[in-house]
Structure 1
Amino acid sequence: MQNQQQSIQGILSIAALVCLAIGWFNLFSPEINHLLSRKVFYVLIGASFFIQAPLLINKNFVYAMYSAAAICVIGAFLPESSGLSSLKTIGLLAGIILSLTNRRR
C-alpha cells in the first residue's frame, strides 16, 4: 500500500512539473498555458501533498501537510486579482519544507 501511494504521489508530482514546464515554454495558447501552470499545477501538487501526508515520518506534521495541500488547491481556484491568490505559493512552500524535513535517512 505504501509503495502504491508513493508511486501515485510521484506520478502526480511529475505531471505537475510537466504542467509548469508547458507554461514556461509557452507550448500552447496563452489561456491554456496559464491554466496549466497557474491552476492545474497547484491542484496536482496539492493532491500529491495529500497523498504524501500519511507517509510522513513525523506524525506531528501530518495535519500540517494536509493543510498545505488544501491551501494549494484552494489557492489555485482563487482569482489572481485577489490578494489571497498568493496562498497557493505559501501552501507549496510549506509542503516542500515539510516534505524535505520528513525524509527517511
Structure 2
Amino acid sequence: MADLKYYDVILKPIVTEKSMNSMSEKKYTFSVHPDATKNQIKEAVEKMFTGAKVAKVNTMNLEGKNRRRGNNVGKTSKIKKAIVQLTADSAEIEIFSGL
C-alpha cells in the first residue's frame, strides 16, 4: 500500500442531488484515493475540517465505464467514493454550506 498522508486521501467532494439531500442527516460524500482505508478517511476528515467528528464511513469501489470513440474501445478510470456520517454534536463541513 502507498504511504498516504491525510491531505492525499480526500480528492474532491461529490456534489449531486442525492448527496445534497443526505447532508440534512450529516452525511457527506467525497471522492477518495483508491488505496485509502476507512480509518485513513476518518482521520483525514477530522484533521482537514475543524470540529468534525466522524461516526462512521461507508466506501464504494466503482469500476470504470466502457467508452467508445469510433473503432477504439476503452474504459474510464476506477474511482472510490466515501460517505462520511458525522456525529450529532459535530460541526458542519464548511465547503458544503454555501451550496
Q: TM-score under structure 2 normalisation?
A: 0.30
Report which structure shows greater RCO (CA 8 Å, sep ≥6). 2
Higher helix share: 1
Higher strand share: 2
> Which of the two has higher C-alpha Rg?
2
